Amino acid sequence: MPKIVDHEKRRKQIAEATWRVILNLGMEGATVRNIAKEAGLSLGALRHYFSTQDELLVYAMDLVKEQATVRINEITKKDLPPKEMILSILLQMVPINEETMAEMEVWFAFIAHARHKEDIFNIKDDGVFNGIKKLVDSMEQYGLLRKELDIAVETERLYALIDGIALHALLEPKRVDKERIVRVLERHLDSICIG
């Protein structure tokens, strides 16, 4: 019987190998050769799954978005008090554990790499802005927000706060640890929410 390999599963394994290479060596080390080695594949086998390095990088980045989306959808199914749910959702977008730290590292390296290749990569759409926008909109719908707020300004402000603190947690994980992130986000939510 021939060996049956699930094509999509193998692509995921390769994407995960790509992350490990980026985590260890940075984007400069994320060559097709290094990724194939990390994934335990020949160059030819790797090319069977991804014909170019850019195609692989886009896929690896999409997987980051997908994972965060899955976690957030799980949270929305829980029966949590509104403010606690909002905080839990926001915490999926910042590095507070090994998994989210790795995602952030990959995201940062990817953005820097893709910056001057806008024809290949659509770096504007990382999903975070739309996620925050939906969140603020539903906070308003459920009557959680203070009355005098400008929704567009609050969306932009929360989006900047989240990406800023995510960046600082990546660059200075000792000072900007989970406890500190939670305190800052709680303070921010208190300042825009009723009660």
Site mask for a copy of itself (CB under 8 A), range 94-133, x = bound: --------------xx-xxx-xx------xx---------
**C-alpha dihedral sign at 40, 45, 47, 48:** negative
Ramachandran category for residue 2: left, alpha or beta (phi over 0 → left; psi -120 to 50 → alpha): beta
The residue (of 6 and 119) whose beta carbon lies closer to a copy of itself is 119
Rounded to whole angstroms, the Cα distance separating 55 from 60 reads 9
- State which of residues 10, 88, 180, 193 lies at the interface with a copy of itself (CB under 8 A): 180
- Shortest distance in whole angstroms from residue 156 CB to a copy of itself: 5
**C-alpha dihedral sign at 45, 48, 49, 50:** positive
Q: Verify binding: residue 159, a copy of itself, rule CB under 8 A.
A: yes
- State which of residues 120, 151, 160, 194 lies at the interface with a copy of itself (CB under 8 A): 160
The residue (of 22 and 63) whose beta carbon lies closer to a copy of itself is 22
Q: What radius of gyration do the chain's Cα atoms show?
A: 19
Nearest to 189 by CA among 151, 143, 158: 158
Rule CB under 8 A: which residues touch a copy of itself?
25-29, 108-109, 111-113, 115-116, 123-124, 150, 153-154, 156-157, 159-165, 167-168, 171-172, 176, 180, 183-184, 187-188, 191
